[in-house]
Amino acid sequence: MLLKNETIQREFILLGLSNNPKTQVALFILFTSVYTIILIGNFLIIVLVLTDANLHTPMYFFLSNLSFLDLCYSTSTIPRMLRDLLSANKVISYGECVAQMYISLSSGVSECVLLAVMAYDRYVAICYPLHYTTIMSKKVCIRLAVGTWIFGFLQSIFGVMVIFKVDLCGHNKINHFLCEVPGVLSLGCGNIIFVELLIYIIGIIILLTPVTFIATSYVNIILNISKIASSSGRRKAFSTCGSHMMVVVIFYGTAMASYMKPRSSSLPGTDKVIAVFYAIVTPMLNPIIYTLKNNDVKAAFLKLIKINKFFYYYCVWKL
């Protein structure tokens, strides 16, 4: 029994999304394509914000931070999942499991706070346009961004420590495609009601607090937009907020469904299906949602293409 417990503490087995070989190949092709879109889309936003002077505003500064968080989040989970889809050996070491949980959890928590900061930025821009540059100064934006990262990475240390202090039962198979809180907690045996309650309370603080703040911000934003006389002005104001609200609904909705429910109410396999949305789908949709109707980003992208095209022809001419 001692040997068995030592083995459980040393490694885990991720069961993944499917056991069917054909389904695994199809999922590998699908998620490889999705991961490629995530890398290109989010990396492109970061490059555009850094290189284009027209995008050197608080809104795009926070958007570039969101893209970097999405890159961290997806890279901590998807490459490992892709490897497991084509491998018979789905064993993950204890240390790798802890590292994966910490990186994904800290990135997710930071994103929760960052989305609230982005809502505050839109609130100030629409409700206090004359004081916007003063309130959202460069120093304030940097402090807010750094604060979200510090909070996420410090809070996650506590969360990971709590989860891995749980006594594990007589098996080490996690019915998930990544080492995540619900999956590892499902291995817990004995009376873990206190741990579940603690996670539930943390979930309320981390998820409901920013959601409440975001909802309050948007109520005030809608009230102020309704006072705008011109219909074009109202449409422009709504367009700047619509993308953010769509991301908020997808991200917070799926995260709440996963973290703010008791283990007893979970159906087998539901946690990993929900996790696909906030760990894979959301990082893919974020760059698409934020750039699809954004003329500033489109203009910056076209400018970047022209510069690269000019540089290419210049190099060819020199050769």
Three-state DSSP at 209 gives helix
Do β-strands 11-14 and 173-174 pair in parallel, antiparallel, or remain unpaired? parallel
Query: Residue 13: phi, psi to the nearest 5?
Result: -120, 120
CA distance 153 to 143: 15
Q: Per-residue pLDDT for the chain (319 aa), expressed as one digit of tens each? A: 344 444 445 788 888 888 888 899 999 999 999 999 999 999 999 999 998 888 889 989 999 999 999 999 999 999 999 999 988 888 888 888 889 989 988 998 999 999 999 999 989 988 888 899 999 999 999 999 999 999 999 988 888 888 877 777 767 888 888 888 877 887 877 667 788 788 878 878 888 888 889 889 888 888 887 776 566 666 666 666 777 777 888 888 877 777 766 555 555 567 788 888 888 888 888 888 877 667 778 787 777 777 665 554 444 455 5
Q: Lay out the sheet containing 11-14: strands in order across.
A: 91-93, 11-14, 173-174
CA distance 218 to 205: 20
- Note the pLDDT of residue 7: 42
What CA–CA distances, in Å, run from 99 to 83, 102, 182, 195? 17, 5, 16, 20
CATH code of the region 2-318: 1.20.1070.10
Residues near 147 by beta carbon (within 8 Å), at least 6 away in sequence: 113
* 92 bridge partner residues: 12
Three-state DSSP at 29 gives helix
Q: Is residue 125 within 8 Å of 219, Cβ to Cβ?
A: no
The rounded radius of gyration (Å) of the Cα atoms in the chain is 22
- Note the pLDDT of residue 267: 59
Query: Within a 13 Å sphere around the CA of 237, how many CA atoms are in the beta-carbon half?
Result: 23
DSSP 51-95: H-GGG-SHHHHHHHHHHHHHHHHHHHHHHHHHHHHT-S--EEEHH
- Note the pLDDT of residue 33: 94
* 188 bridge partner residues: 168
CA distance 283 to 41: 9
Cα 162 vs. chain centroid, distance in angstroms?
A: 22
- Note the pLDDT of residue 4: 43
- Which sequence spans correspond to the domains of the chain? 2-318
